[in-house]
Structure 1
Amino acid sequence: MTVKERLQELREQIANTPGKNDKKGLFIELLAYNNYAVANGDDRDITSIKELDSYWKKPITKHGVFDKMYDDLTDEHIINHANDPKGFKSALEKAQD
């Protein structure tokens, strides 16, 4: 499975998951894969990504800013950001600085 395919799978899972709290882990994973794709391309096999948790997810959740921003999102916002994570990523980076 490629990063692009995994991103699409995560988008579908987020859209089909009923509870906001249940979407949180999926959304973090999607943001991590998206950050990886921006840096390395989305055609890579996901099995070759060794540092997803430590290198790609950790910066997303540092300082607790993600949790505060996520709490303010509606389910519709989460789905919209999953389909186009650039805006959320930018706002998160600004808030963490």
Structure 2
Amino acid sequence: MKQLDAKAKQLRARKIQQLGDLVVAVGADTLTLEVLAGALLAAVDTKESSAKEAWRKRGASFFQRTSHGRSGAGGNSRGATESPGDAASARDADRP
């Protein structure tokens, strides 16, 4: 049981790290916490499938752009070939 709890904590910590990396990678770390929370809540609450599909396409495009020049190893069926942390590194490398 302790091993399961430890694994669950490890997975949660990894997910939190990846979400933080994603926030930085897309530049949302420049928003206030209130604005970011409001935007996320609006996304969660939306019932419009067309809006969600547009967001999905934009997100897929973002990951494809940030993975330009990388091999397809480790990619998923939606075309993302890196973790959000890798995307943050790619974005930061493009900054002056």
Asked whether the two chains share a fold, i.e. TM above 0.5, the reply is no
TM-score norm. by structure 2 comes to: 0.31
User: Which structure has the larger Rg?
Assistant: 2
TM-score norm. by structure 1 comes to: 0.31
Could you say which structure has the higher helix fraction? 1
